[in-house]
Structure 1
């Protein structure tokens, strides 16, 4: 496993070492001990979630607040997505900055998103199956969300606005400037 820095503090790309032969391939998707050695971050996860979405679905920007904040390790198991992390930690040197990366079944990359970040993705293939490993349990009362098209963040979702499929929650999220997301 290789760990690559992103421009955002404490947010990492994880690239697996893949062993291929005529039978197919094998790779270690995650190793807590290696992750902690390479990043200094806690790599203990307690909940796994899977979603399936069709082209144009945009989910985000979501977060869990307070004691229910979650770090996430995300990957795309089928298809491809444009994955986005936004640093919402006011004391961070990268506060208000975002990073995007294509995650796909083909590239097998993962993105580690620390607590205090907003997260979202857009589906840029016909369908996509997306995996989230979380280091804290989901709590409905701790949900937060930032508007996907916030002008201060200016995120490129790799989709035309007319192709975006959004939930009511995502359409009605708060602005980045609100800071009460």
Structure 2
């Protein structure tokens, strides 16, 4: 007659024996520290491998929230093509470009500039309902204002003149542009 062990005794035995799985090799060597490479012979080297990609890359991987650009330089943000999310095809994107230029003092001594958005064929409009443009200079930060809000943008180039309030006649300014997940800082001297 065969004897049956209670479940409470069988579980610890199964856990200790690995439940019939192949045995794992245990080594006494510590894991390699980060930044240490191993050459093909298996011996560690002190070489550091740079991550792939160019830091100046404006692709989706290269664009970083809050990246800083010079006045007149375009901040590039990829957008999926299609009218609805279910129409988006993986890897099919077009670049929306934001540019701040023509930065100069207004007759009243405030900072005036031009914000340009270049919108490619996306199969839909690009909304700017949550567009927030702010200026920082000489310890002051405040919103930029415009008399012609952009609204929903069709394919093409869209330009609006903006003004920042604050201290009179600053020599340089930082203009922060945020639209949804797009965020870029433009900095430079005031002309």
| TM-score bin (small chain) | under 0.3
More helix by share: 1
- Structure 1 length-normalised TM: 0.24
- Structure 2 length-normalised TM: 0.23
Q: Which has the higher contact order (CA 8 A, sep 6+)?
A: 1
